[in-house]
A and B are shown apart, each in its own frame.
Chain A
């Protein structure tokens, strides 16, 4: 078990965004995280990565408790994440963006550059390495988000709606990319709204609603789960 969230709670003002959520992620799997908007998926990511401090509960990573640690330390321990809306470093080139991520492991600029280029090749962005991020398309920005997260050499990668805003062709390409990533020592938690993507990629799916986990199972059983259908899916995906 690479990640374990135990009884997490988080409130904002009067709203309970995460309501006693417990989740376990096995090493090497791709876990899908779905649910209606506002169900707490991004908040969960923020709690795991240390952006928010939970009001209650714990997060255990590789057997060690990481609750309350600062994000950069959690990143150093091996959790990477992408943002729903890409947040690249605007006035830098694509390469420089990725280099910032490599600084966790690379101690010289030279090593950083080399590592960054390798990663850009992997996500097929190497041809745009010297372009200013400001001039780059949305699809490429999403790739860049991914590359930057990968640069920190994570063992757990949290992908927050990597596919949103992409055309079907771009989505297909992204799915391929993620599949390629998975073959290495990398566990993934993927948040998506595009069900076809989730169903084809994930080993298991967890469903959130109002900050609680209402179901967790293999994809086939999830789509037939009446609770899930009621809360989120509708009848369309029922097998």
Chain B
């Protein structure tokens, strides 16, 4: 509940404006990097909706991203549909899939839900490898569209939409409070009139919609997708670590987490060359966060262990004397 950060509309709007004009000042490499960071910020937030706010850890969430990628790919390549329709279909189908698997699995308690979603994620990947229409293990090629700014702004748009939706529905509306109630005391919430089954399903579907669309955008952007690239476990791993590091259940936590993790990953790549060592750091980071800062960095700020506002306030006080 970083209400103090939320109420200050100024910061998000400034951030948005900066992002809007950024491409004019950046080299193509950096535009690409920023697009990726935005993508992860949105993915982490999507996970946060079901994992952080509702308290149901979805360990197979990458499946929605992959599904979106393949749906857009299949619709464009095999049916010749336009990209925009493909995106919409991706989002809707991902949400539908979430409803379908959510109905039985959201009944399960914490650990079981995590295992069930993990299994689901792996299953989707296996299915993608087996099916022909997805190109099997070799993946599929989408039509090429080389327009970096297009994808940048598209990604910015969906990310902004994700955050705006989270802000409105989860921080400001009854929906969000109900989710929190479910997370804290599900039985008591039910007793007090909250239709926990419906609300959980809605949250899950919402949390799947955005990754679906983003998966579609990513597919068209990178033009080549295969089971490991869009359905691999690392996708969920990243979403989880970003949300946790930044602060689950908060609006800006995932953003912070995404930026930091991407930063660390790229620095590591620079220093050690593209490799897999960053996974060690990611894994270690998750462990460290759970052990030392379970509320994430946002939690640290709220607990006044580190508060920029307070620091500013104290400094202001000091200079008045």
Interface residues of A (CB under 8 A from B): 49, 51, 70-73, 75-76, 80-81, 83, 87-92, 96, 99-101, 103-104, 109, 112, 148-149, 151-152
Partner of B190, one of A72, A80, A92, A96: A72
Chain A residues contacting B185 (CB-CB under 8 Å) are 87-90
Rounded to whole angstroms, the CA-CA distance of A76 and B195 in the bound complex is 10
Nearest chain A residue, comparing its CB with the CB of B182: A89
Chain B residues contacting A109 (CB-CB under 8 Å) are 172-174
Q: B310: CB under 8 A from chain A?
A: no
10 pairs of residues in contact across A and B, judged by CB atoms under 8 Å? A71-B190, A72-B192, A75-B190, A80-B191, A81-B191, A90-B184, A91-B249, A100-B192, A101-B193, A104-B193
Whether B193 and A152, one on each chain, are in contact in the complex, defined by CB atoms closer than 8 angstroms, is yes
Q: B77: CB under 8 A from chain A?
A: no
Instruction: State how many angstroms separate the Cβ of A90 from the closest Cβ of chain B.
Output: 5
Interface residues of B (CB under 8 A from A): 1, 172-174, 177-178, 180-181, 184-185, 187-197, 249
Rounded to whole angstroms, the CA-CA distance of A100 and B1 in the bound complex is 16
Rounded to whole angstroms, the CA-CA distance of A64 and B196 in the bound complex is 23
Partner of A91, one of B1, B196, B197: B1
Chain A residues contacting B190 (CB-CB under 8 Å) are 51, 70-72, 75
Whether A100 and B194, one on each chain, are in contact in the complex, defined by CB atoms closer than 8 angstroms, is yes
Whether A51 and B178, one on each chain, are in contact in the complex, defined by CB atoms closer than 8 angstroms, is no
Decide yes or no: A89 and B184 within 8 Å by CB, A70-B190, A100-B189 being known contacts: yes
Chain A residues contacting B177 (CB-CB under 8 Å) are 92, 96, 99-100, 103
Whether B184 and A92, one on each chain, are in contact in the complex, defined by CB atoms closer than 8 angstroms, is yes
Rounded to whole angstroms, the CA-CA distance of A132 and B73 in the bound complex is 48
Partner of B192, one of A70, A90, A112, A151: A151
Nearest chain B residue, comparing its CB with the CB of A103: B174
Chain A residues contacting B178 (CB-CB under 8 Å) are 100, 103
